[in-house]
Structure 1
């Protein structure tokens, strides 16, 4: 499929496919996962970009040509068929040769609408050290990506019907492609019991974000010890209890900043930060901007 796909790419089809996909697929809702799609992109001759980082994932697929992917102080060669993942908050740069054709998509999991298991999976994916796959033409992710672009080029009238399922399959296939070093999510009885308790705890946290949410309070609600709850959060989210709660508060704050006109003070109260000052300090440290500036950036046209 690689030659036919490469031959189908022209400057016109890239521009049109970008427009169609950014219009047709900006959110994805599955049974256990929801995604924000920040952008779709493609270029027959990708320009070298500046060193930068995102608060979300960016997956890229090299269709033709060559280049180098730089992350932190390391360099990784890129060639046709390479699929790679820029993980959140990692400084990186794509150095492109003049002939490098590239597809890319920026996305993040909406944890407020996703299952605890899927949330934990993508949080672990954010820290995996396996983030580049060579000769990936026949992987499910690459095949879905190629199908999306060919559909946009050949049958744009059907794209709105087909694209959401293809895009969902693409994103959900990424953990399997890059998760070689992730912990096994086996089905032993002890693990299943911990997973059930983690789900209950995460739902309790989500429903009570305006409260202080101490470890002992949630453990008492589940009728387990604080030590056991600490182990469960480490095992199923890769985070401490306190870090998980803060992450949930920030996720809810992101949603409210993006989708409501509530004041910063009102949002700080709803998501459980003790003061606007503390909310602003934590939010800016994690997101790179204070809440008001972050809201302005979210709502500004691309």
Structure 2
């Protein structure tokens, strides 16, 4: 596949195929990706589904405690809440989409089917080239490659059908473009994915390099994106998210401060107390007693 197609596919899908509504099933797409060289990423998890298709290359995929080989034609799914990782020494040409069901706009049958899919243990489909899912994907790429004016309704219809097809693929196995770079490197989309990653892995040890590997960009690029889009460093943003999480738990639960520190991702109670006090102005224990009175506002 020519490199310019990666650019066009990324641009079009992320522009026109985000809110996908249908009669019985509606989806919110967090991001699409079509990348020529995907190497290792850090062990992580999502609060949503992510389905990947290996267009070319070899590697492996770990899902919880299982490791599966990846090769050309393999399709695999990452389920909500499951720790997983992609590894490849030579790089994978990879298509992926991250999405969730909009339950308020979907039928009970569809909701139940995707809930069952989240519990499905058959997560890797080798030799999926002839499956309806891959055929739909190829139809999408065919539209991109044709160079014809983009028909947004046609793209949305195909993408909606693609997401629904995943139900049957995995279930059956268990019984115009702009000046973009080759990868999905639009700053706003990358920051959206970075923030989702942080939210879903907040209790883990998070480092800039782990998120950069997940996004398939350099640490320097990611650091620059935080400054450009959020006006603060990665460390500052991460601390604020962890303090925000701890504030919510202090106000809504009776958990011990030590347990809250762990869930919020702080390496020790001492470090948690120091950061919290610096941001809020009082210690976690005192904050809980005051129940966040009006005169206690987070420090910048």
Q: If the length of structure 2 is used for normalisation, what is the TM-score?
A: 0.57
Cα deviation code 1:56-104 (max 9, x no counterpart): 0000000111110011221100000001111101000000232421100
Give 4+ residue runs of structure 1 displaced > 3 Å after superposition: 180-183
Q: Secondary structure at the match of 2:149?
A: helix
Q: Which runs of 5+ in 1 are unaligned?
A: 1-8, 184-275, 279-284, 290-302
Partner of 1:277: 252
Aligned residues: 187
Cα deviation code 1:15-67 (max 9, x no counterpart): 22101110010011111111001101011111211111000000000011111
Distance in 1 between the 2:51 and 2:151 partners?
21
Equivalence map 1:84-163=2 (5 Å): 84-155=76-147, 157-163=149-155
2:73 aligned residue (81, 88, 93) = 81
Distance in 1 between the 2:108 and 2:39 partners?
38
Q: Is the 8 A contact 2:39 2:91 kept in 1?
A: no
1:53 aligned residue (45, 48, 51) = 45
- Shift in Å, 1:162: 1.2
Q: Secondary structure at the match of 1:36?
A: strand
Equivalence map 1:39-50=2 (5 Å): 39-50=31-42
- Shift in Å, 1:11: 2.4
Q: Is the 8 A contact 1:46 1:96 kept in 2?
A: yes
- Shift in Å, 1:171: 0.8
Distance in 1 between the 2:131 and 2:89 partners?
25
Q: Is the 8 A contact 1:53 1:89 kept in 2?
A: yes
Distance in 2 between the 1:123 and 1:150 partners?
32
Higher relative contact order (CA closer than 8 Å, sequence separation 6+):
2
2:7 aligned residue (15, 18, 36) = 15
| RMSD of aligned alpha carbons | 2.8
Q: Which runs of 5+ in 2 are unaligned?
A: 176-250, 254-259, 265-300
